[in-house]
């Protein structure tokens, strides 16, 4: 559950690539399937021409409003199938996810910050993008910038088979969106244990929306199942050595090298401590929160 601060390079790349797909289809009025022309409804072509720019770059609230406008057209089942095929097969499946993510400069899953967003698939690197509004239910948003969320396969799968309370129509009110920055929507990683061999990760928040997001994305379950080793390593640094060991590591070990506080964190823990950089390395927010708590417990 990290925030995304989009880069201009990613915005420009996305605008250029998606606009090209939309403009070509508006001009032709059809898509090709099995080398045969499949004419798209003229009402849809008119709709696409009217809303194309907002579909491409509209913010989440506006995207949902456009979805409602689309639903008012009452297309037939056959027409909806063609329109869905255009956005997903013609559009999204041919969109260069990897280059987009490189320009967006987000390296780890926005939802869990545990895994990188790229994986090797059939001897090639493939980038994983989640659709915040699911593309199966919201196909016209399959290429919308603010609907494309850098994700790992695990979180994408969890979200694909889940839906927030009150459904997607109330989602923007009930769960957090990575592109919407709200200073009240915060949480902290913490821990408790009965022994150093049995630590447990917990997530703390006083925000009801964040709490619902944690439950929806099963973030607490993910960290409880797979992160105890990381937690155990940090606890051992604090409790198996001197009380000031963490402080010595962070403030004295590399003193003569004149490294910044961020560089020291990176060298010792392989993590980032600035919120804008959490995405660069897995477990960054988790480690930062735990380390800060351990330092306070001298």
* Best CA proximity match to 159, nearest among 182, 136, 141, 140: 136
Cβ proximity of 33 and 85 under 8 Å: yes
* Best CA proximity match to 130, nearest among 114, 115, 110: 110
Cβ proximity of 210 and 189 under 8 Å: no
Q: Residue 214: which residues within 8 A CB-CB, separation 6 or more?
A: 1, 187, 203, 205, 220
Which tokens belong to 163?
A: 């839906």
What is the three-class DSSP state of 242? coil
Supply the pLDDT for residue 165: 86
Secondary structure element (H or E) that encloses residue 190, with its range: strand 188-193
Cβ proximity of 175 and 219 under 8 Å: no
Helices vs strands, H then E, count in the chain: 13, 8
Supply the pLDDT for residue 120: 56
Total residues belonging to the chain: 298
CB atoms within 10 A of CB 278: 24
SS3 content of the chain, % helix, strand, coil (to 5): 55, 10, 35
Residue carrying the six token digits 């009380």: 243
Beta bridge partners of 62: none
Beta bridge partners of 192: 200
The structural domains of the chain, with segments of one domain joined by +, span 8-174, 188-296
Q: In this structure, what is the dihedral angle of CA atoms 231, 233, 239, 243, given to the nearest 10 degrees?
A: -100
Cβ proximity of 118 and 128 under 8 Å: yes
Cβ proximity of 4 and 179 under 8 Å: yes
Q: How far is CA 15 from the centre of its chain?
A: 19
Beta bridge partners of 108: 116
pLDDT in tens, the chain (298 residues): 899 999 999 999 999 999 999 999 999 999 998 889 999 999 999 999 999 999 999 999 999 999 999 999 989 999 999 999 999 999 999 999 989 999 999 999 999 998 888 765 555 556 789 999 999 999 999 999 999 999 998 888 888 778 888 899 999 999 999 999 888 899 999 988 777 677 889 999 999 999 999 999 999 888 887 677 888 888 887 776 666 776 777 677 666 677 777 777 777 777 888 889 899 889 999 999 988 888 787 5
Supply the pLDDT for residue 148: 96
d(C-alpha 206, C-alpha 191), whole Å: 16
The Cβ-side half-sphere exposure at 47, using a 13 Å CA radius, reads 18
* Best CA proximity match to 137, nearest among 63, 218, 210: 63
* Triad 17, 9, 66: Cα angle to 5°: 55
* Best CA proximity match to 178, nearest among 279, 31, 42: 279
Q: How far is CA 68 from the centre of its chain?
A: 24
Supply the pLDDT for residue 224: 81
Supply the pLDDT for residue 16: 97
């Amino acid at each position: 559950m990290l925030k995304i601060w989009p880069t201009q390079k990613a915005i420009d790349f996305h605008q250029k690539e998606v606009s090209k797909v939309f403009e070509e289809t508006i001009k032709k009025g059809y898509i090709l399937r099995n080398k045969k022309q499949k004419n798209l409804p003229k009402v849809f072509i008119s709709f696409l021409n009217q809303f194309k720019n907002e579909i491409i770059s509209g913010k989440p609230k506006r995207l949902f409003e456009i979805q409602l406008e689309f639903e008012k057209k009452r297309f037939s089942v056959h027409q909806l199938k063609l329109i869905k095929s255009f956005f997903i097969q013609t559009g999204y499946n041919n969109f260069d996810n990897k280059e987009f993510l490189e320009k967006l400069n987000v390296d780890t899953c926005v939802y869990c910050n545990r895994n990188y967003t790229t994986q090797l698939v059939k001897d090639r690197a493939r980038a994983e993008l989640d659709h915040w509004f699911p593309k199966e239910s919201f196909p016209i948003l399959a290429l919308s910038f603010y609907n494309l969320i850098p994700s790992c396969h695990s979180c994408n799968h969890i979200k694909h088979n889940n839906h927030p309370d009150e459904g997607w129509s109330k989602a923007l009110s009930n769960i957090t969106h990575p592109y919407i920055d709200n200073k009240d929507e915060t949480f902290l990683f913490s821990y408790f244990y009965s022994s150093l061999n049995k630590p447990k990760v917990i997530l703390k928040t006083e925000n009801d929306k964040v709490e619902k997001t944690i439950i929806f994305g099963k973030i607490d379950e993910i960290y409880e199942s797979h992160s105890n080793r990381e937690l155990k390593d940090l606890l051992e640094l604090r409790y198996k050595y001197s009380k000031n060991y963490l402080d010595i590591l962070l403030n004295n070990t590399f003193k003569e090298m004149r490294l910044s506080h961020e560089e020291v964190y990176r060298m010792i823990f392989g993590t980032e401590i600035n919120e804008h950089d959490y995405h660069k390395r897995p477990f960054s927010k988790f480690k930062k929160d735990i380390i800060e708590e351990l330092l306070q417990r001298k």
